[in-house]
Amino acid sequence: MTHPSSLVMARALAAAALLGALAACSNDSTGPGGGTVSVTVASSGVDVSPKGFTITVDGDSGQTVGPNATVTLGNVPAGTRAIGLAHLGSNCAVTGDNPVTVTVSAGETATASFEVVCTARQLVFETDRNIATSGLDIYVMNDDGTGVRRVTTDPANDLLPTWNPDGSVIAFSSSRGRSGGAFNVFTMDPTDGRIIHQLTDTTGENARIAFSPDGSKIAFASTRSGYAEIWVMNADGSSPTQLTHDGAFATAPSWSPDGAHIVFQSNRDGTDQLYVIDAGGGNVHRLTTTSANDHDPAWSPDGTMIVFTSNRDHRSAADSSNYEIYVMHADGSNPTRLTTNTAFDGFPAWSPDGTRIVFDSMRDGHEQIYIMDANGQNQTNLSNSASNDAVARFRP
């Protein structure tokens, strides 16, 4: 797939908490004693996260429960309590009330149960399926390849989409309303493609969007200062702040799950390498130190790993691969190769539960969206189209 400008082209290169909650509840005037609550969860459907969900007591997060498991909460203050299930993800829902009300009596056990039904997760991606009559468009599909649906229909190029943390908004870069290769950042409703906001309005290129974990800020790459640098702005587009000042090519930011750091790629030292910077700027340090090119880092949901693209093993006739997918520890140690073939593999992204990785591959002769387990097993073509489909991102 060919992109019309340099920055966009680079993508082808490139249980203590529970105790605190219960302590807060201990001021309840219904009684000084405590009881227990037995919570049972039964889940069905597809894409059920093996990590389970979070139990809440009176709205405060507490213990984790598996998708099909029973846990017992101890020392719950006596009285009427609201027991809920949180962190369901965009593809799961409780059938019935959530939360449920239970009466806790001193020395006794109350019960609460939840039935959870999960459906396939959605992916957003860019495609040239309508290139004869339109530019690049944004589509969604389920992570089993079903449910393919077009979202944008503008004749401009709409590309590099991503979701906000609650999955209610898609942000993307677009050339709509501009000429001469300018790209700006927009947000839209994922159901009908209705534009919600235009977040940038510059003559440069603004792309590679990444929401902070709390959804309050957006990191992105911009050429507005003359070079591609990493910027951060509020989620409404206000207060854009330049983080890198290298006079080099910096792009592909990804936030750490705690929101404290941003990993990105830059050629500030020659080849493209991966770096980490504080979310507020400063304290830049280099993660990879090869003579090859490392691109498109993405932090794992638990913060322990980073997945990325590299051509570091394309060094001999014995290994004819070019760009492949790797994972490494978040400190840059122990890089491990996940894909091995003679075609391009790139633009990886984690599933919200960290068990799978979606990525682009040219192994079928054109760009397609693949998915694999986090250890590289079970690589499967999801898009199976005659067009170029690329840069898929999971809905949270």
**6-14+120-394 and 16-118 agree in CATH topology:** no
CA dihedral sign of residues 316, 317, 319, 324: positive
pLDDT of the residue at 321: 52
In this predicted model, what pLDDT tens digit does every residue of 60-87 receive, in sequence order?
A: 988 999 999 999 999 999 999 999 999 9
What single-letter DSSP state applies at residue 121? P
Residues 189-215 as b/e (b if ≥16 CB within 10 A, e otherwise) read ebeebeeeeebbebebbbbbbbbbbee
Query: Residue 149: left if φ>0, alpha if ψ -120 to 50, beta else—which one?
Result: beta
Residue 62 pLDDT: 84
Name the band, by pLDDT with cuts 50, 70 and 90, for residue 27: very low
Q: DSSP string covering 277-341, please?
A: EETTS---EE----SS-EEEEEE-TTSSEEEEEE-TT--BTTB---SEEEEEETTS-S-EE---S
Residue with tokens 């609550």: 37
The per-residue pLDDT for range 136-194, each reduced to its tens digit, is: 999 999 999 999 999 999 999 999 999 999 999 999 999 998 766 689 999 999 999 99
Residue range 28-47: mean pLDDT, rounded: 80
Superfamily in which the 6-14+120-394 domain is placed by CATH:
TolB, C-terminal domain (2.120.10.30)
Structure confidence at residue 89 (pLDDT): 85
pLDDT at 93 over 60: yes
Residue 21 has pLDDT above 90, yes or no: no
- Identify the band that residue 18 occupies on the pLDDT scale cut at 50, 70 and 90: very low
Pick the CATH number of 16-118 from 2.60.40.10, 3.90.600.10, 2.102.10.10, 3.30.590.10: 2.60.40.10
Greater model confidence, 322 or 272: 272
pTM: 0.84
* Average pLDDT of the residues of the chain: 90
Domain map (residue ranges) of the chain: 6-14+120-394, 16-118
Helix (H) or strand (E) holding 270: none
pLDDT of residue 179: 64
